[in-house]
Structure 1
Amino acid sequence: MENQTIEYMLVLAGLSDLPSLQLPLFLVFLLIYLLTLTGNLLILLLIFTDSHLHTPMYFFLGTLACLDMGYSSVTVPRMLFDLLTRKRIISVPACITQIYFFIYFATSEIIVLAVMSYDRYIAICRPLHYMQIMSWKTCVQVVSGVLVLDAVYSLVHTLFLNNLIFCKSEALQSFFCELPQLLQISCSDILINVLLIFLLGLLFAVGPLGVTLYPYITIIRTVLKIPSKNMRSKAFSTCSSHLTVVFILYSTITFNYFLPNAKDHYTKDKVTSVFYAILTPFLNPLIYSLKNQEIKTSLRRTLYKLQILRG
């Protein structure tokens, strides 16, 4: 350690080193970010203003929309700033802070998706007891508990990151601060940090995945017994949109956090990071809007009311 210089400022590799691509990338991701905020805000507006959507299912969907906006806002504004200025320099405390909020929003989204799966199970398999089990008090308590639990989970990772020393001059092979990439440029012993990723990952990622998928065994059996074709179609539509979001989020996060990273994988890692950090929050409102008949009906009602007000 005596011959190594401790780094207090880190360099992000960014999306591309080609100057000609900086402005086009900035414009593309600025548009995606604005559409992400617009799509999620639109879902929130519909849920708040339409009394038909004042149900536990849409309460959780509204929570997911809020998490998507936070999730995207942790990474995209900083990336846009770097594309515009080409500085790509970030302090160690700022980097660790970004990791804290990224883990917080990502993990919260994972657990909320698991809660939404349980909500669908109660709604389809035990409809007569739905409002008794999924009362508003219960929904608020569950979401509050998730947010507090994930705040502690993220804090554990960042506390151990604060004990590391960074003395390598190479850049973080990402466009934002990610936990695996940050560990790669540390000159401290990172064994405990790697163990935390796998052990806590099993608890906060694999565990919720099991909770998310297991109810669908009973859900599918119950839906297939429904005599009405329209009711079956409506149930499958709601479930398919939820499962699509789960698949996209888990597949990309698993690729980056739980598969071995090698230097020849850096380009693939960046593509994966773009997908789960930027495109997933953008796609979620589209998936729920296009596959959810009640959201589409609510949007038509809202547009009709606006036309009446203008007329």
Structure 2
Amino acid sequence: MTGFTVDPWDPGYAAALAVENLSEMGATSAELVIDIERPAADWKPVTPGPDVSPPGTLLVADGVRRIDARVWVHDPDAPMPVPGIAASYAAGIVRCGPDGADLAEIQVNRSLISASPHAPEVKTTHATYEPSKAADASFEELSLALQRLVTQLEVDLAVRHRSRGDDLLLVDGPLRGRSHLPRTIGYIKTHHTAYLPPPQSAVVAALAPGQRTPVFLMGTSWRRHAWYLRLPVQSSAPWAGVARCEASADLDPAQVVRLADEVTVALPPLAGVDYKDPRAPQNLVPIGGLEKLLRHHLGDSRLLYRALRTAAAG
């Protein structure tokens, strides 16, 4: 008998909803240190000086994930089969420089994730799913285990392609799990939580394109430096074109301020345009292009789902 069964429930049924309306964002109890770069009472938009240059090489890393099927692993040590997921995920690196951007590498992996120690390697006619362990059988933990695999793949690719001491790595999404990498910035496009108090939030709304807020330190379940910047945008909405950047909490103030200035200068030329991308300008052109390539490389979800069902019945 085969070691797993495919659940007939559509794996793409649920989707995350991003909160776009600032008035709907939740408040936070996060630790905040506002006066990293300047006193809280003296917060105002920061324009990088004329001596600030973008990095010679900007590496942009991104990853995508997809649940191809929900499965049940038949565990001889458990009274009932243990739930799991069969997932495809991919990561890639785009290298941006003075002469344009080029694709450095894309890698696609597939895993069968379960809390069971008996999760099998699943070979289908189209792909092989390697077993991977989750801490427990909840869907939340299975999803977190998948995200950890995506993050680790991004880290592996980034380490492989860092060739210069002065290059800068931009990862799409929070920095968590990657803060140990040197000169690395997390890039967050959407905002679910209002982290700053009202006086400092007003500075975010007052940013002009190419400006940033002062750097601050924030701590939730992990600590990092952060700042907001505004990209070129037509809309006059208070937070239109605003992205949040994160850097390691281990950096000293001078280091993180220098990084913040470099990023604020480097990103505006890469901003997405609204007639090509509904998430413009925050969805940077290299990120949008890389996402499309990565999703293409994941393969046909219907084909993989049928292959998994065939392998389960074999």
- Regarding TM over 0.5, the answer is no
TM range (shorter): under 0.3
Compare the two structures and name the one with the higher helix fraction.
1
Greater RCO (CA < 8 Å, at least 6 residues apart): 1
